[in-house]
Amino acid sequence: MINMHGNTNRDWLTKFLFAHTRQTEPDDRPLYAYKMSDATYAHLRTLFHQMILRHPDGKLATRFAPTFCLYAAETFRREHTEGPWAWETIFRPLNTDTPSHQRITDHQ
């Protein structure tokens, strides 16, 4: 088992990709197809939660977008059961309010 506790978001993503593909770049699978373990998902959930808590002023952390996309894909794979997709599905496991759509999509 590969230690997923990287010092940075980039380290974590690189280690995750290498553990699943033996490469440091994505292999063109849909993100949900990586099907991470419960332990890896728990660590990603904690990492993502820390990222959004550290930047309450709206500034995005380094590597926010790929971390967000991986977390969102895995969360939808695990949590979504029926009906339309909603942002709440992503943020409910973090026990946090869903931010405004503008804050989620703002890349500045």
Kindly list the domain boundaries of the chain, sorted by start residue: 36-105
Condensed to tens digits (0 to 9), the pLDDT of residues 23-65 reads: 767 778 888 887 888 998 998 898 888 877 765 555 666 667 7
pLDDT of residue 51: 78
Three-state SS string over the chain comes to: CCCCCCCCHHHHHHHHHHHHHCCCCCCCCCHHHHCCCHHHHHHHHHHHHHHHHHCCCCCCCCCHHHHHHHHHHHHHHHHCCCCCCCHHHHHHHHCCCCCCHHHHHCCC
36 CB-near residues (< 8 Å, 6+ apart): 16, 20, 44, 74
pLDDT band for position 102 (cuts 50, 70, 90): low
Residue 103 has pLDDT above 50, yes or no: yes
Q: Which residue has the higher pLDDT, 101 or 56?
A: 101
Rounded CA-CA distance 19/65 in Å is 20
pTM (2 d.p.):
0.72
Whole-angstrom Cα distance, residue 108 to residue 42? 28
